[in-house]
Amino acid sequence: DAMVIQNPRYQVTQFGKPVTLSCSQTLNHNVMYWYQQKSSQAPKLLFHYYDKDFNNEADTPDNFQSRRPNTSFCFLDIRSPGLGDAAMYLCATSVFSNEQFFGPGTRLTVL
């Protein structure tokens, strides 16, 4: 089945230790998104790639970076995680501006 895959599902890191979250898709969608969802809150868009074009949200902290080496993969890098970065990180894809399909998420814990 075509799908959006996120690895790992659970990630524990230490305060200030860089961490990378991975997203891959078999849908061949041209747009990939990263959202942050804190407990009991709405998902919040961090950034997205429209093909190779990177689009950062104005309020996304500089601590968060992203890479998209090819159509299928997209990475979220958190350079120096703080306690406030503990959240569920959701990856999504779409064809142009159509329906978005989400992966299962990675739950990040910062100790």
Partner 1 sequence: KQEVTQIPAALSVPEGENLVLNCSFTDSAIYNLQWFRQDPGKGLTSLLLIQSSQREQTSGRLNASLDKSSGRSTLYIAASQPGDSATYLCAVRLEGNKLVFGAGTILRVKS
Binding region for partner 1 (CB under 8 A): 4, 6, 31, 33, 40-45, 48, 50, 55, 57, 88, 90, 92, 94, 97-105, 107
Residue placing its CB nearer to partner 1 in the complex, 38 or 79 = 38
Closest among 8, 21, 12 to 66, alpha carbons compared: 21
Say if residues 100 and 94 touch (Cβ distance below 8 Å).
yes
Residue placing its CB nearer to partner 1 in the complex, 81 or 103 = 103
Say if residues 32 and 93 touch (Cβ distance below 8 Å).
yes
Residue placing its CB nearer to partner 1 in the complex, 40 or 70 = 40
Say if residues 38 and 45 touch (Cβ distance below 8 Å).
no
Supply the minimum distance, in Å, between the C-beta of residue 35 and partner 1. Answer: 8
